[in-house]
Amino acid sequence: MIVLVGFMGAGKTAVGRALARRLGLPFVDADRLIEERHGPIPEIFDQLGETGFRAIEAATVAECLAGPTAVLALGGGAVETPDVRAALAGHEVWWLRVSLADALARVQGDPHRPVLADPGIEARFDARQALYAQVATHTLDVGSGGVSDVVTRLLAARRAARLPRPSSR
């Protein structure tokens, strides 16, 4: 399993789709899977609060990690849940590191991102950095590069680290 983590706007979904295509693997976006099963994330936040959403998210991530080999993109806050962090152990986890300014520029005004309304978003960003670092087996600064550039650099870093080509199981 190749797992992508990082703050919203880091490009986890776009990079994950392109990476999966290049590797011939399925792509799974944990947030999209949650929405297919439970409805829009903002509505889940409204009905169950962030704690309720995080419980659904943790169960979804555990299910995905136990499934067939894929490229899996996690929601930006998934690493806040201890069960998710524990479940990531033993997996190839790439932190797509992005600055707060770049992240916000990419997602500003997106109504599907309830965390954007958080007045403490800078503190949340700062707190998550340590969590991403904790779970990541590899880090890639995405900067302002395009998806193709990020995927090419990630694949080059995988080769340099002599990581085995993942195979479907």
The domain that holds 134 is classified in CATH as 3.40.50.300
The number of distinct structural domains making up the chain is 1
The answer as to whether 166 is a domain residue is no
Rounded mean pLDDT, 15-26: 97
The answer as to whether 168 is a domain residue is no
**Confidence category of residue 107, pLDDT binned at 50, 70, 90:** confident
Its pTM stands at: 0.93
Chain mean pLDDT for the chain: 92
Q: Is the pLDDT of residue 145 over 90?
A: no
- Give 38-93 pLDDT, tens digit per residue: 999 989 999 999 999 999 999 999 999 999 999 999 999 999 999 999 999 999 99
The answer as to whether 84 is a domain residue is yes
pLDDT at 114: 61
pLDDT at 133: 98
The answer as to whether 165 is a domain residue is no
Rounded mean pLDDT, 6-10: 92
Q: Is the pLDDT of residue 115 over 80?
A: no
Can you give the three-state secondary structure of the chain, one letter per residue?
CEEEECCCCCCHHHHHHHHHHHHCCCEEEHHHHHHHHHCCHHHHHHHHHHHHHHHHHHHHHHHHHHCCCCEEECCCCHHHCHHHHHHCCCCEEEEEECCHHHHHHHHCCCCCCHHHHCCCHHHHHHHHHHHHHHHCCEEEECCCCCHHHHHHHHHHHHHHCCCCCCCCC
The answer as to whether 17 is a domain residue is yes
The answer as to whether 96 is a domain residue is yes
The answer as to whether 130 is a domain residue is yes
pLDDT at 111: 56
**Confidence category of residue 167, pLDDT binned at 50, 70, 90:** confident
The answer as to whether 146 is a domain residue is yes
User: Which residues span the domain enclosing 21?
Assistant: 2-160
pLDDT at 150: 96
